[in-house]
Structure 1
Amino acid sequence: MSKPIPRPSRIIAGLPQALGAYAVWCLFPLYFALLHEVAPFEVVVWRLLFTLPFCLAAILVLRQGPALRAALTTPRILAALALSGLLIGTNWLAYVIAVMDGHVLAASLGYYINPLVNVLAGTIFLHEKLTRRQWIAVALAAIGVGLLAQGALETLGISMLMAFSFAAYGLVRKLTPVDALPGLTVETIVLLLPGLGLLAWQLGTPQGLVMGKSLRIDLLLACAGPLTAVPLMLFASAARQLDFAVLGFIQFVTPTGLFFLSIFVFGEPLRPIQLVCFLFIWTAIAVFCWDILSRRKPA
């Protein structure tokens, strides 16, 4: 029996939201580079604390209070969002540490690995079926990522942490029946107490808190709220609509942007193996897109 051809609306639903989220994320190193004098822990904490009021204000404006109350009072949804909150918090911390320590390529590799983890998670947990061409694309991408990983063994641990934490976050959000904004609001509420604990810990370090010492830094940290919330809401919306494997392959937008930033903006050395990796991955993306477009044609 031949496999049914997905409807065009099913293939492209959520695509604009996913592209928007990934495009914003690939520019994040430029933002974090402006905060080089702030400790990574403090950046993560203020990112969390300024996200919550932004989400609450959006809840009021969009009149999603009932949806927020439902999420907070439904134990199964609350537990799932607590887990997704811890996962995205872990991802935030790993990403900020990598970027602020000058390991933008490690961050890039983490998001190159993530689509492969998404495909694995989609087939195991969601029983998604890939076509032959899509499996060829996955194999090509895996070869490219494997070549890149061989040259980054020292920072491979943080790359793997980023890849698996974000893949797990996406999977939980896909399976949790809650809209993007109420879900993100609950996640930030869950992370509030750990965030305040980290803030107290940072206050006790010799460096202390940078917040309050410079108007420029204060404004940049305050911007972390909307800069965090908007792409996460777009991603959560896309995750609920797109197949998980498709969502993962679109994510190659982010590491590609990070790759170019690391070379042309942050001055990290470009090695021949990276060019080979790049060729494999973009060939994989071309094959994957070709398969999706061909299946949109009438039978």
Structure 2
Amino acid sequence: MKQATSETTTGGLYAFAAYLLWGLFPLYFLTLLPTTPWEVVAWRVLLSLVFCVVALTVTRGWRAFGRIVRQPRLLGWTAAAGILIFVNWTVYLVATLTGHVIEASLGYFINPIVTVLLGVLVLHERLRPAQWTAIGIAVVAVVVIVVGYGQVPWISLLLAFSFGLYGLTKNRVGGSVDAVSGLTLETAWLSPVAVGLLIWVGATSGITAGTAGAAHAVLLLLAGIVTAVPLLLFAAATRRAPLSLIGLLQFLTPILQFATGAFLLHEAMPLERWIGFALVWVALIVLSVDSVRNARRPRGVDDVAEIA
């Protein structure tokens, strides 16, 4: 019992660290200006691949990696995951570097609700009444923002659905692909795209790496580590802590991003945005309370599995 408690505590700390780092991402990426989002995402892909290659070498993970690449089904899922995470990274960087941090935070607030919705649409899961209620409130929140603010929150929706679908692809491979091997394959698939982006940036606006001072160059070189470390912490957390704890801690990321956008960067928060965000927060409270209550209830044959 004591060992299980210790494992849960350790897993909770890993999850907290991962979500804390993700929550601080806007402050890191803003230090990379005047580098464009397209150049940043290209370096992020390539440097993450370098980091993963080093990690596989240090941890002697090449044998496990070799078993994965010999399975076409797993290769297909990692390719799909790579495309989805590329969309997510690109949209997030465009949002952060163009003054839309609050809208990006909304995407990660509604991501848990999108994940539940994908469980219904793709995995044909049955939802409890509280989960349907949370989805309904979230839909109303988006409608309020669209009507009141005068535009569809495309950044939020793209981030929520791309990351939700990314989680779905990871769910499909389960424990067959470890975190480092998975990220290695995902970034390897994306490397030709990243190289193409750098060629395009160089031919248009010009590559900024090494031209904006030593501090900027160092921060840009850290993009691979900054990307990979929270993903590895998150993977370690999911092996130790219950999903109910990880699910509750995940709100730390959008809370920090929202606070950064609203109070540090002073992005606009008109009344309709406050109302929309308030409705999303109500939906998340409903979803979280229901998740905790269901996690504590003994599971019977009629209980329905949920994706995280």
Fold shared per TM-score above 0.5:
yes
1:58 paired residue among 47, 55, 59: 55
Q: Which moved more, 1:216-225 or 1:131-140?
A: 131-140
Counterpart residue identity of residue 208, structure 1: G
> Is 1:270 the equivalent of 2:269?
yes
State the Cα distance separating 1:218 from its structure 2 match: 1.0
1:129 is paired with a residue of what secondary structure?
coil
Counterpart residue identity of residue 208, structure 2: V
Query: Partner residue of 2:153?
Result: 156
Alignment of 1:10-21 (within 5 A): 18-21=15-18
Counterpart residue identity of residue 137, structure 1: A
Query: Partner residue of 1:5?
Result: none
Distance 1:172 1:244, change over 3 A: farther
Q: Is the 8 A contact 1:107 1:162 kept in 2?
A: yes
State the Cα distance separating 1:15 from its structure 2 match: 6.3
The TM-score, its normalising length taken from structure 2, stands at: 0.81
Query: Partner residue of 2:164?
Result: 167
1:122 paired residue among 119, 124, 144: 119
The TM-score, its normalising length taken from structure 1, stands at: 0.84
CA RMSD of aligned residues (A): 3.1
Query: Partner residue of 1:260?
Result: 259
Q: Which moved more, 1:62-71 or 1:123-132?
A: 123-132
Counterpart residue identity of residue 69, structure 1: G
Query: Partner residue of 1:190?
Result: 189
Q: Distance in 2 between matches of 1:289 and 1:189?
A: 36
Query: Partner residue of 2:306?
Result: none
Residues 223-263 of structure 1 show CA distances to partners (whole Å, capped at 9, x for unaligned) of 11111112233455677999999977764433222221111
Q: Is the 8 A contact 2:12 2:245 kept in 1?
A: no
Query: Partner residue of 1:4?
Result: none
Q: Distance in 2 between matches of 1:290 and 1:222?
A: 41
1:217 is paired with a residue of what secondary structure?
helix
Counterpart residue identity of residue 225, structure 2: P
Task: Give 5+ residue unaligned stretches, structure 2.
Answer: 299-308
Q: Which moved more, 1:19-28 or 1:229-238?
A: 229-238
Q: Is the 8 A contact 1:42 1:209 kept in 2?
A: yes
Q: Distance in 2 between matches of 1:150 and 1:112?
A: 20
1:209 paired residue among 207, 210, 226: 207
Counterpart residue identity of residue 171, structure 2: K
Q: Distance in 1 between matches of 2:119 and 2:9?
A: 18
Task: Give 5+ residue unaligned stretches, structure 1.
Answer: 1-7
Q: Which moved more, 1:274-283 or 1:73-82?
A: 274-283
Query: Partner residue of 1:40?
Result: 37
Query: Partner residue of 1:226?
Result: 225
Distance 1:32 1:149, change over 3 A: farther
2:99 is paired with a residue of what secondary structure?
coil
Distance 1:149 1:119, change over 3 A: farther
Q: Is the 8 A contact 2:77 2:169 kept in 1?
A: yes
Query: Partner residue of 1:111?
Result: 108
State the Cα distance separating 1:164 from its structure 2 match: 1.8
State the Cα distance separating 1:82 from its structure 2 match: 0.9
Give the number of aligned pairs. 289
